[in-house]
Amino acid sequence: MALGLVFASVAPAHANKDFDGRNEGDGKEFTDGDAAGQMLDAGAGGIVVDDSANGSGGGGSGGSGGALDPVGDWSPPPCWYVPMYTPKQLKKEREHTWSLGSTGSEFDNMQRDKYVAGGDTPGTYKNFNMAKTGEGYWWDGYVPEGGGGVPGALECDDGPFWVDEGDPPPAQYANAVTPEILAGIAYDRIRVPDIEISLKPDAQRAQKVNLPTWAWLDAATFEPVSVTAEVPVLGLWARTTATPVSLTLDPGTDDVELHPSSGTCPIDDDGSIGTPYTSGSEEETPPCGLTYLRATPDGETYPFRATINWSIEWEGSGGTGGDLPDGSFGATTELEVDEIQSVVR
């Protein structure tokens, strides 16, 4: 049965970076050779994500598995404001857009008034702040791919706006990137791999009414998995770490006795869960397992689910950090349960 646990050692940091920002696909169009522009084009204008210490299942080392299911109603940030452009980059991007005529003359003229012809009027700028090249960045909103319909995704559509280097963004931009926002972005990128949980009787055979089913995981070296998200031009970063803590068994029916009674088996100091079944243990109570009390009807099964629970914490720049909602990852398999057949003479 496949479940989300990590047993491989963590790879060296910064071995596998990618970028979550508007410049990822089209940034080189705006470089123009200036050093700051090249730095933004490299992804620093968005979020640089390092998942080299991640698990498998979509990030890090490959393999099967998947994303954690957060406990409660937590969800990742729907959008955020980050440094996106140097003056040269924004100038080239806007002039290219205006040349296409796709946004309409009324909107284009409003943009020209704001970014080209202004300067003395509050909320306007002169020639894209070219005179302040090297002294700050144009910030803009970013919505993760596929997140346009997520509640809150439209809260980052009031840009671009200028921020001098070393200054905080204006207070009205509540979604301006912070270490805590970066921690949520990193949490959303955590992936955990599958691993085999042993059952006796195994999942391919029918379980027996009133005889325990043993569940265990052999001793392994469990390593926490983590993802780091950062904005290098601001010196902001956050590392979110997930640590496996227990296995929860959901038998798929109320006609069952759980071992332990909570249905949650802790991970032992040696990285194992439960105790392997041995010959002669048929009627013993396993430290981790269950006993079905009723057989499944003909042709039917119980949806048995085993879930690994993960605790989540983060640390970030400026001494920030804390806890995030726990996560879980599991798998379901269909189990048949039979009555024990006996011969009466």
Predicted pLDDT at 7 = 23
Q: What is the 3-state secondary structure (H, E, C) of 143-166?
A: CCCCCCCCCCHHHHCCCCEEEECC
Mean pLDDT throughout 134-160?
89
Model confidence pTM above 0.85: no
Chain-centre distance of CA 307, in angstroms?
18
Predicted pLDDT at 218 = 81
88/55: higher pLDDT:
88
From 65-69, 109-113, 333-337, the region with the lowest mean pLDDT: 65-69
Q: How confident is the model at residue 70 (pLDDT cuts 50, 70, 90)?
A: very high
d(CA 292, CA 279): 20
| pLDDT at 32 > cutoff 90 | no
Which residues, other chains included, contact 25 with Cβ-Cβ below 8 Å and sequence gap of 6+? none
Amino acid residing at 56? S
Q: How confident is the model at residue 60 (pLDDT cuts 50, 70, 90)?
A: very low
Predicted pLDDT at 231 = 93
Summarised one tens digit per residue, pLDDT across range 7-21 is: 222 222 233 444 444
- The arrangement of strands across the sheet holding 191-196 comes to 2-4, 191-196, 65-67
| pLDDT at 275 > cutoff 80 | yes
Closest listed residue to residue 258, CA positions, set 283, 239, 286: 286
Q: For a pLDDT cut of 90, what percent of the chain falls above it?
A: 65
Q: How confident is the model at residue 340 (pLDDT cuts 50, 70, 90)?
A: confident
Predicted pLDDT at 38 = 41
Q: How confident is the model at residue 196 (pLDDT cuts 50, 70, 90)?
A: confident
Predicted pLDDT at 341 = 67
| pLDDT at 250 > cutoff 90 | yes
d(CA 263, CA 295): 20
Chain-centre distance of CA 320, in angstroms?
19
Predicted pLDDT at 144 = 86
d(CA 305, CA 313): 26
| pLDDT at 35 > cutoff 50 | no
Predicted pLDDT at 221 = 57
Mean pLDDT throughout 109-138?
92
Q: Please check whether residue 308 is in contact with residue 266, taking contact to mean a CB–CB distance below 8 angstroms.
A: no
Mean pLDDT throughout 265-272?
85
CA separation (Å) from 74 to 186, 190, 274? 14, 15, 31
